[in-house]
Amino acid sequence: MISKFHKQNTNFQIAYFLAGSCHTPDGAYILLKELREEREMAIKNYEVQQLKDKAEELRAKKLLEGDEADRLEGKAKLLEIENNRKFGEVLYKAALEEIDFIDKCIAKLEPLRKYKGLPDQEVSELVQKEEWLFELLRRAENYLLTTGTIPPDQLDTMRLHPDFKTKILPRIKEIRNLLLTEKGREKLLEQIQGANFPEVIKLLPEYKNK
């Protein structure tokens, strides 16, 4: 079972499956910036909720001065606020930990970036061609390795990419030729091994002593 223990994403997920799902440093950078914004929003929402809880707490304490029904309602409300506060603090701390790791990942990617210095929105647009190219190449590898054929809808998407004739189609031909022999298949498997952005992955605890 995969457990995140109050986090939106664990460090492992961020390194391997989020940043690692990207194909370029700038693509990973943009993904991580968006992830950071989402986590930052969760922190801001917690701070807003803290203010609301204080107001509710004052109202609940006033109920303690009323009749028995009011007192019971006030006690229940105070207990609810306290429970929510405890759990909210846990989620708040988890979000802070996520942001800390995301910032470390971004720092590792920064020297590798091609479009650093440009506005993030512009970078997001500039990385699309390369990200799509490598994504489609990856799909071609996966399909040909597993089923031996590329589904029509996926091939149609590949044909729409501007680099289809110069990069995607030659790679498809290369993969097909490699799959003809056992030695070629082994070579192909070697080519697709290895995780993206080892600089980020080395931030994980298991790599600290390596």
Which pLDDT tens digit goes with each residue over 111-127? 999 999 999 999 999 99
What per-residue confidence (pLDDT) applies to 146? 94
Here the tokens at position 164 are: 């289809």
DSSP track, 19-39: GGG-SSHHHHHHHHHHHHHHH
Quote the pTM value: 0.88
Q: What is the dihedral of CA 21, 24, 27, 31, to 10 degrees?
A: 40
Here the tokens at position 163 are: 């680099």
What is the mean pLDDT, run by run of 10 residues, along the chain of 210 residues?
80 94 96 96 93 93 90 93 91 94 97 95 97 97 95 98 98 96 94 87 76
What per-residue confidence (pLDDT) applies to 208? 61
Here the tokens at position 195 are: 């995780």
What per-residue confidence (pLDDT) applies to 1? 58
Pick the closest to residue 29 from 199, 204, 207 (CA basis).
199
Q: In this structure, what DSSP letter does residue 4 have? A: -
What per-residue confidence (pLDDT) applies to 41? 95
Which pLDDT tens digit goes with each residue over 78-136? 999 999 899 899 999 999 999 999 999 999 999 999 999 999 999 999 999 999 999 99
